[in-house]
Structure formats: C-alpha cells, structure tokens
C-alpha cells in the first residue's frame, strides 16, 4: 500500500479530527490506483461529520471543496480519474461563501 499525506483547512480539518499538532497533515494509506474520491469515501466511512460535510445529498464528492494534489489544482471533472501514488500530498480547501 502507498501512503499519502492529507492536509485540510477550516471546517474540513475539524471534521477529520486533525488537531493543531498535525499541521503537517495526516498519513493515509491508499490502495494501488485509488482515486481522490475513493480515498475520501474511505475516510468518510470512518468519520461521520466529515462525510456529512464533504458529500452532497446524492453522495457526490466535494462540490464545496477545492483539491490540490502536489501543488496543482485538480478539477472536479478530473478527480475520479486521478490515481494517487506513494508520497503524494493532497490538500482539501473548503470553498468560502458569503460576502
């Protein structure tokens, strides 16, 4: 299994349960060829609050979150086709509303 580093900010970080001591991210094991939504689904199965915040009513992943993989923005259309590899760094950034 590969290991990736997952970083999150704002309410996503709280939902993951990542405290300030984990500012450098949490280590997540991923299967060969696992996608970003696949990893998120596994984490969501373990963390109810994370699931409720990250997935919409149709169980679609992350319409309210930006995904950055190794410093590059990943389009919502490309997330399912993006395979994770050992050493990757994923950042989840909540989209801000309001004005």
Report the CATH number that the domain containing residue 59 is assigned in CATH.
3.10.20.30
Q: How many separate domains does the chain show? A: 1
pLDDT higher than 90, residue 9: no
The residue that leads in pLDDT, 26 or 34, is 34
- φ, ψ for residue 23 (rounded to 5)? -60, -25
Q: Nearest-5° angle of CA 27, CA 29, CA 32? A: 140
pLDDT higher than 90, residue 68: yes
Is residue 80 in some structural domain?
yes
* pTM greater than 0.75 (yes/no): yes
Is residue 57 in some structural domain?
yes
Is residue 99 in some structural domain?
no
Mean pLDDT of 63-90: 92
Strands 89-94 and 2-8: parallel
Is residue 40 in some structural domain?
yes
pLDDT higher than 60, residue 82: yes
Is residue 18 in some structural domain?
yes
pLDDT value at residue 58: 66
| Helices and strands in the chain, H and E counts | 3, 5
Computed from CA positions of residues 51, 74, 32, 28, in that sequence, does the dihedral angle turn out positive or negative? Answer: negative
pLDDT higher than 60, residue 92: yes
pLDDT value at residue 32: 85
């Amino acid at each position: 299994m590969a290991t990736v580093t997952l970083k999150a900010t704002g309410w996503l970080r709280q939902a993951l349960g990542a405290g300030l001591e984990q500012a450098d991210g949490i280590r997540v094991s991923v299967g060969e060829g696992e996608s970003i939504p696949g990893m998120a689904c596994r984490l969501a199965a373990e963390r109810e609050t994370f699931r409720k915040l990250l997935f919409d009513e149709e169980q679609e992943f992350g319409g309210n979150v930006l995904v950055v993989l190794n410093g590059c923005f990943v389009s919502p259309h490309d997330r399912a086709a993006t395979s994770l590899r050992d050493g990757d760094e994923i950042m989840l950034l909540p989209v801000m509303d309001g004005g």
